[in-house]
Amino acid sequence: MTNKNISIFDSTLRDGAQGQGISFSLEDKLKIVRALDDIGVTYIEAGNPGSNPKDMEFFKRIKEVKLNRAKIAAFGSTRRSNIKAEDDKNIKNLLSADTDVVVVFGKSWDFQVTEILKTTLDENLNMISDTIKYLIDKGKEVIFDAEHFFDGYKDNNEYALSTIKVAEKAGASTVVLCDTNGGTLPNEVKDIASEAISNIGGNVGIHCHDDIGMAVANSIVAAQVGINHIQGTFIGMGERCGNANLSAIIPTLKLKMGHEIIDDQNLSKLTSVARFIAEISNITLKDETPYVGNSAFAHKGGMHIDAVCKDSKSYEHIIPESVGNKRRFLISEVSGKSTILSEIQKIFPQISKESKEVQIITDRLKELEYEGYQFEGAEGTVELVMRKIIGKYKPFFKLNHFKVFAEQPSDNGEFTSSVMINVTVDGKEEMNAAEGEGPVNALDKALRKALEVFYPQLKDVRLVDYKVRVLDSESATEAKVRVLIESTDGVENWSTVGVSRDIIQASWIALVDSIEYKLIKDIERKVKTYF
């Protein structure tokens, strides 16, 4: 039995916030709610008003926001043992969040009831039942999260099943089977979820964690046996190894299993919503993330690239654009002339396969790779190499000299680096200097101070990423280093690369490329015919 109507329940703001390093401001939460609603999730679990008083302000603010479809849910636990639900402080807080939907979690594992909660198995059933009934009396839709359902079932299947039966009887709209510890195998999910479904007349959901790398697969397997509510976090963040990644589950349900949970247009927002949430959460979305990662449709092997050019299904399981992502060909030592031609034609469409420049550029890139360059993700430098060969380049300044000084101990007691630099632009010489955190930071500052005199637009530029890779590190401090920097002017980001035995020189090469790339782009924006 497969149910084509599956609710998508996002817990980025509640279970996701349990992830290491995650801390949302109120504004962050509002932005994420809007993005999740926009793409069409069914429920947004937005906080735990009982345990986190900061969440209360959010629940006040969110009532002013008009949402298209999503229902906001507040999360809390069953009442404590041996008190009335109406006397429980956490349940009062849960109610005061004033949401239409509340999620109540309770214990389904007998061991947790007796050893952690220190109460009786019967009282735990009463806690579940009373809490749900009380909240329904208050007009709420109640979703019941059966914590540790799978571990509980394996230890005492009868008791685990009794917890969800009690919850359903008390009026829960959905009972959710939680793999709280994340260690359950797909075949176990299949069998246990099937058994739960056959015991419950209403909606059954699934909530998985990724501790053995199965959260996505387990959610899908559960959908195949008939659950109709999937909980997760949009990009998989959460405690320990994270929660089920909805940005992988949603497209699989729709594209591979025929569940029309969101429409095509919303599906095409998948990548941008995932990246937006990563940005707001200040975490790096792994390039390899299924469907939405930067490398999800990136091809490196020359043979693969050739085949994808013939027919994309050769090495792509879906059309990248259907989820708003795009195909990339990585320029590497294994990539062929056709990859490079397609890169050239993005900037210079008039260059054809027969143009002699194609071979010269290919050879030059290979030569640089042999020296230790790597062009994946360094499209700024690649463009400059092409421009220099095609003749669409002029230098923007001439370096006369720079000098780096560093000493320990220094006058102010801290380790400091300083740089003096002398450049010429249009016949005018400029001398400048800067101190910085390390020689490269000082060099970056000094160069930009000197050039801003001539190119004030460089004031908008800042470095957003700096990576150092020691090549063949066994030559130790004599080894070559590769420096990759990413820059932004607030509108566009670009990356450049430099290689040298000297880290200062490698950084210098990448810095110069970064500045030249910016200045070329500015001219192109203003005067289309400049070159």
* Residues in 3-32 at the binding interface with a copy of itself, rule: CB under 8 A: 18-21, 23, 25, 27
Binding to a copy of itself, residues 326-385 (CB under 8 A): 330, 332-334, 374, 376-377
Q: Is residue 402 a contact partner of residue 421, using CB atoms and an 8 Å limit? A: yes
Q: 315 or 393, CB closer to a copy of itself?
A: 315
Burial of 322 (0-12, 13-18, 19+ CB in 10 A): middle
Report the length, in residues, of the chain: 531
**Binder to a copy of itself among 476, 491, 526, 529 (CB under 8 A)?**
476
Applying CB under 8 A, the span of 59-67, 166-174, 213-221, 518-526 interacting with a copy of itself comes to 213-221
Residue 217 identity: A
β strands within 39-90, DSSP E = 43-45, 71-77
Q: What gap in Å lies between CA 154 and CA 16, rounded to an integer? A: 27
Closest to 298 in 3D by CA, of 279, 323, 316: 316
Helices (H), 63-120: 89-96, 110-111
Whole-number minimum distance, CB 100 to a copy of itself, in Å?
Answer: 25
Whole-number minimum distance, CB 182 to a copy of itself, in Å?
Answer: 6
**Binder to a copy of itself among 260, 468, 523, 530 (CB under 8 A)?**
468
Residue 289 as a binder of a copy of itself (CB under 8 A): the answer is yes
Q: What gap in Å lies between CA 271 and CA 323, rounded to an integer? A: 6
Q: Which two tokens stand for residue 56?
A: 């209360």
Q: 293 or 390, CB closer to a copy of itself?
A: 293
Q: 61 or 71, CB closer to a copy of itself?
A: 61
Q: What gap in Å lies between CA 515 and CA 381, rounded to an integer? A: 11
Binding to a copy of itself, residues 482-511 (CB under 8 A): 485-486, 500-505, 507-508
Residue 65 as a binder of a copy of itself (CB under 8 A): the answer is no
Contacts made by residues 169-172, CB under 8 angstroms, sequence distance 24+: 169/129, 170/128, 170/129, 170/130, 170/132, 170/133, 170/136, 170/142, 171/132, 171/133, 171/136, 171/142, 172/104, 172/132, 172/142, 172/143, 172/144, 172/202
Helix (H) or strand (E) holding 223: helix 215-224
Residue 466 as a binder of a copy of itself (CB under 8 A): the answer is yes
Whole-number minimum distance, CB 530 to a copy of itself, in Å?
Answer: 29
**Binder to a copy of itself among 64, 158, 311, 354 (CB under 8 A)?**
311
Whole-number minimum distance, CB 527 to a copy of itself, in Å?
Answer: 30
Whole-number minimum distance, CB 400 to a copy of itself, in Å?
Answer: 9
Q: 351 or 463, CB closer to a copy of itself?
A: 463
Tell me how many residues contact a copy of itself (CB under 8 A): 127
Q: 390 or 458, CB closer to a copy of itself?
A: 458
Q: Which two tokens stand for residue 5?
A: 């109507």
Collapse the DSSP code of 434 into the 3-class scheme (helix H, G, I; strand E, B; otherwise coil) and give the result.
Answer: strand
- Give the x-and-dash track for 398-417 against a copy of itself (CB under 8 A): -x-xxxxxxxxx-----x-x
Q: Locate tokens 């200097």: which residue?
A: 433
Applying CB under 8 A, the span of 127-135, 163-171, 384-392, 474-482 interacting with a copy of itself comes to 474-482
Applying CB under 8 A, the span of 61-69, 264-272, 303-311, 522-530 interacting with a copy of itself comes to 303-311
Q: 194 or 441, CB closer to a copy of itself?
A: 441
Binding to a copy of itself, residues 101-140 (CB under 8 A): 111-112, 115-116
Residue 204 as a binder of a copy of itself (CB under 8 A): the answer is no
Q: What gap in Å lies between CA 215 and CA 414, rounded to an integer? A: 49
Collapse the DSSP code of 89 into the 3-class scheme (helix H, G, I; strand E, B; otherwise coil) and give the result.
Answer: helix
Strands 141-147 and 174-179 turn out to be parallel
Residue 471 as a binder of a copy of itself (CB under 8 A): the answer is yes
**Binder to a copy of itself among 180, 339, 495, 496 (CB under 8 A)?**
180
Residue 187 as a binder of a copy of itself (CB under 8 A): the answer is yes
Q: 16 or 205, CB closer to a copy of itself?
A: 16
User: How many CB atoms lie under 10 A from the CB of residue 531?
Assistant: 14
Q: What gap in Å lies between CA 194 and CA 1, rounded to an integer? A: 10
Q: 60 or 467, CB closer to a copy of itself?
A: 467
**Binder to a copy of itself among 240, 398, 459, 525 (CB under 8 A)?**
240
Q: What gap in Å lies between CA 481 and CA 253, rounded to an integer? A: 45
